[in-house]
Structure 1
Amino acid sequence: MKTLTLLGSTGSVGRQTLDVVRQAEGRLKVHALVADKNVNLMEEQARLIRPALIVMMDEGAARELRGRLADLPLQVEQGMEGIINSVVSQKVDTVVTALSGRIGLEPTLAALDAGKAIALANKETLVAGGELVMSKAQAVNSPIIPVDSEHSAIFQCLEDHPETIEKIMLTASGGPFFGWTKQELADVTLEKALRHPNWSMGAKITIDSATMMNKGLEVIEAHHLFGMDYDNIEVLIHPQSVVHSLVQYRDGSVLAQLGKTDMRLPIQYALSYPTRWSNPFERLDLRGKTLTFHEPDFEGFPALALAYQAGRRGGTLPAVMNAANEAVVAAFLQKKITYLQIQETVAQVCSEHNVLDHPDLGSILEADTWARRRALELI
């Protein structure tokens, strides 16, 4: 039995992780649940899962939960200190990092320090601190198993000898605005941007998918996870979202992983690896389906090009890009800026940043803070 700490339990990936736990027939146990401030859902999860520990980032939410859950034998903590406690516990084998945003970096590093396996669903962790995280994982010999569907696909396609890989191909649905002109994109509303054609996700990642920043973040994540040069990481628009990604080998052979648009599949694989468990989830039926692939539009969706540039430059620039993006997407969700201003503002912040190479955690957090502040100033 594997014992988990689940970071981000009330989010989309977190909720689906708990679906996997319930279907695992006793092979998974949850020690701790961590979330921001969704008190109602956390209470529901606590009563269903019965963890030993709950952590809420929000102080008020933690206080309210203590009162609501006083009848249960569990502990409620708050803030980053509580999150760190949840991931370093000796009772925990694996930490599922499904928090949204850069906030996942610190607990991931703490979990690695404590020798925990990481099921990584928080791409911003590797975008902001990929060099730091991967070197730490290697030093302590702790595995990082990807949960993102695209990176799980690549992970599943890898052979025992990764030196035979020639190219990684990340697929992208293209989001709701695939094929739109810049003039058409100028009229995008929040409501339109939140209508993803294939996946049901949280608001932030849905907007990132609309701008294709999400795919840019995944390019940087793939670089760190698989040690691939950016010149050998390609993005393919695949509107059907059936092929989750592909790997091309040096002899020209291409392996692809296909599946339903169901995050429970890569979540389960990350938690069952190196074995595969049966489950009752819906199976993929390819009969009657047509699969198409297209070049991405770097001009219409400049966030993808910006991510390649930031990744190639490295240092603190990816962290700055990610932080600025988090700030401006939050502003867009509050209808304070237009759709096109998201990408324009992130690019402006990146252009103003003085990049620091080989940053430590403190330098990454300082760059992150500066980028958020500067983005808000520009807004």
Structure 2
Amino acid sequence: MNTPRQRITVLGATGSIGTSTLDVIARHPERFEVFALSAQRQMDALFAQCLRFAPRYAVLGDEAVALQLRQRLGEAGSATEVLGGAAALEDIAAAGEVDTVMAAIVGAAGLPPALAAARAGKKVLLANKEALVLAGGLFMDAVAGAGALLLPIDSEHNAVFQALPADYRRDPAVAGVRRVLLTASGGPFRTRALHELDGVTPEQACAHPKWVMGRKISVDSATMMNKGLEVIEAHWLFGVDADAIEVVVHPQSVIHSLVDYVDGSVLAQLGNPDMRTPIAHALAWPQRIDSGVRALDLFEIARLDFERPDYQRFPCLALAYGALRSGGCAPAVLNAANEEAVAAFLDHGLPYRQIPAVIAATLERVCDLPVDSVEAILAADVQARAVARAEIHKRR
């Protein structure tokens, strides 16, 4: 008996997660069918993807670029319909024909379409951590209310998901989880002298020792804000408090995360550092499929090292824990300030070590804003960005 193919929308198709997702999909044409692809402005890459995967829809966030893509695809004889704008992103995420949505748009812009997919009861593969950082309560309520299936794509959260019992969400108390341990590579500056960080360039910060990622998330890995956002995300995904989430620096990036149980057992998920592993796991869950990832050779690795995070080296991690404990709008403010500070750093407009200073100052100035709706959350995001830009201007 033939199983119908999953029809998939890939939000953020031209980014690293999106291209890895399409790589896995291409390996299993009998299981998966691309329904829609999206990008912000990367027309050439999206054009090539449309020719290869023939989606029903392609969406560009920039409507002017969408017009250009529509013309190019028409000249190429493609039947893909091209749409533009934020509303179209929500449409392809919630469309009745869609089974699965890969939510891989980076930043706050990824929240509305990811939330639309959850509210439509889709199988949501969540690579956009900001959806939970900004709107964790709203998002998880939407998942529960619509009966959506939420599967984490971040390698750390996917590892935790694999190490938890299948019935964990139905009865967390019975599972006996003591701690969730999120591993971190430590990024490119794990061993660099602190005084040398003053002159760090964007190119150096983006040279991750283990993972191939976009520029923004690479800087977040260097500052360890990426891990801080993952701590907040883990709180919502797995229902654990900040005190039960521990970050472990593991430079080999082979153990992707661990779960510590009250009986003394610690379960870990291991694998080569390749995002196709968690993507394939989530696409086929609860089954397993080939991801194209090379088998792990423990003899080649030979050793596994672990360190406590240095909060003097990684103050962004401490800021994220503080925002989680504060609750309310603090995580949204943290995220917005970080995005603005990282963008300024990448544009050579802010020194590397001023990134946490901008975030801390913004958290102090923006507080007690409501976060009871998407509109309120996005308003807090806008206000935090304005304050962060003013702080950045002071430090140029």
TM-score (norm 1): 0.98
**Partners of 1:167 and 1:97 in 2: CA distance:** 27
Task: Name the counterpart of 1:12.
Answer: 16
The 5-angstrom pairing of residues 246-325 of structure 1 reads 246-288=258-300, 289-325=302-338
Q: CA deviation at 1:358?
A: 4.9
Q: CA deviation at 1:305?
A: 0.3
Task: Determine if the alignment matches structure 1 residue 362 to structure 2 residue 375.
Answer: yes
Q: What residue identity is the alignment partner of 2:383?
A: W
Q: CA deviation at 1:315?
A: 1.0
Give SS of 1:69's match.
helix
Give SS of 1:287's match.
helix
Asked whether the 8 Å contact 1:315–1:359 carries over to 2, the reply is no
Q: CA deviation at 1:378?
A: 1.5
Task: Determine if the alignment matches structure 1 residue 180 to structure 2 residue 192.
Answer: yes
**Partners of 2:164 and 2:237 in 1: CA distance:** 12
Give SS of 2:98's match.
coil
Q: What residue identity is the alignment partner of 2:225?
A: M
**Partners of 2:257 and 2:287 in 1: CA distance:** 20
Task: Determine if the alignment matches structure 1 residue 2 to structure 2 residue 10.
Answer: no
**Partners of 1:14 and 1:339 in 2: CA distance:** 28
**Partners of 1:25 and 1:252 in 2: CA distance:** 43
Task: Name the counterpart of 1:87.
Answer: 93
Q: Report the more deviating stretch, 332-341 or 177-186.
A: 177-186
Give SS of 2:199's match.
coil
Q: Report the more deviating stretch, 258-267 or 19-28.
A: 19-28
Q: What residue identity is the alignment partner of 2:316?
A: A
The 5-angstrom pairing of residues 67-82 of structure 1 reads 67-70=71-74, 71-82=77-88
**Partners of 1:252 and 1:323 in 2: CA distance:** 39
**Partners of 2:226 and 2:47 in 1: CA distance:** 31
Q: Which runs of 5+ in 2 are unaligned?
A: none
Task: Name the counterpart of 1:377.
Answer: 390
Task: Determine if the alignment matches structure 1 residue 105 to structure 2 residue 111.
Answer: yes
Asked whether the 8 Å contact 1:181–1:300 carries over to 2, the reply is no
Q: CA deviation at 1:279?
A: 4.2
**Partners of 2:370 and 2:388 in 1: CA distance:** 22
* Per-residue Cα deviation, 1:114-160 (whole angstroms, up to 9, x for no partner): 11111000111110111110111111111110001000000000013
Task: Name the counterpart of 2:45.
Answer: 41
Asked whether the 8 Å contact 1:316–1:359 carries over to 2, the reply is no
Task: Name the counterpart of 1:205.
Answer: 217
Q: 1:11 to 1:65 in 2, by over 3 A?
A: same
Task: Name the counterpart of 2:137.
Answer: 131
**Partners of 2:266 and 2:71 in 1: CA distance:** 55
Q: 1:313 to 1:357 in 2, by over 3 A?
A: farther
Q: Report the more deviating stretch, 173-182 or 324-333.
A: 173-182
Q: CA deviation at 1:359?
A: 2.5
Q: What residue identity is the alignment partner of 1:30?
A: V
**Partners of 1:76 and 1:286 in 2: CA distance:** 47
Asked whether the 8 Å contact 1:314–1:357 carries over to 2, the reply is no
How many residues align structurally?
Answer: 379
**Partners of 1:121 and 1:358 in 2: CA distance:** 22
* Per-residue Cα deviation, 1:30-88 (whole angstroms, up to 9, x for no partner): 10001100111000000000000000001221011010001211211111111011111
**Partners of 1:301 and 1:123 in 2: CA distance:** 19
Q: What residue identity is the alignment partner of 2:113?
A: P
Q: Which runs of 5+ in 1 are unaligned?
A: none
The 5-angstrom pairing of residues 130-149 of structure 1 reads 130-149=136-155
Task: Name the counterpart of 2:358.
Answer: 345
**Partners of 2:339 and 2:291 in 1: CA distance:** 35
- Root-mean-square deviation over aligned CA pairs: 1.1
**Partners of 2:17 and 2:274 in 1: CA distance:** 10
* Per-residue Cα deviation, 1:245-270 (whole angstroms, up to 9, x for no partner): 00001101000000011100100111
Task: Determine if the alignment matches structure 1 residue 227 to structure 2 residue 239.
Answer: yes
**Partners of 2:369 and 2:64 in 1: CA distance:** 37
Counting aligned pairs with the same residue, the percent is: 48
Task: Name the counterpart of 2:62.
Answer: 58
Asked whether the 8 Å contact 1:57–1:80 carries over to 2, the reply is yes
Q: What residue identity is the alignment partner of 2:267?
A: L
Q: CA deviation at 1:339?
A: 0.2
* Per-residue Cα deviation, 1:177-222 (whole angstroms, up to 9, x for no partner): 1033431211211121111100000000000000000000000000
Asked whether the 8 Å contact 1:154–1:247 carries over to 2, the reply is yes
Asked whether the 8 Å contact 1:54–1:76 carries over to 2, the reply is yes
**Partners of 1:342 and 1:7 in 2: CA distance:** 28
* Per-residue Cα deviation, 1:3-51 (whole angstroms, up to 9, x for no partner): 1110000000000000010012420111000110011100000000000
Task: Determine if the alignment matches structure 1 residue 29 to structure 2 residue 33.
Answer: yes
**Partners of 2:289 and 2:256 in 1: CA distance:** 20
Q: 1:81 to 1:279 in 2, by over 3 A?
A: closer
Q: What residue identity is the alignment partner of 1:301?
A: F
Task: Name the counterpart of 2:180.
Answer: 168
2:202 to 190, 197, 201: 190
**Partners of 1:138 and 1:280 in 2: CA distance:** 33
**Partners of 1:282 and 1:190 in 2: CA distance:** 30
**Partners of 2:154 and 2:50 in 1: CA distance:** 25
Q: CA deviation at 1:357?
A: 5.4
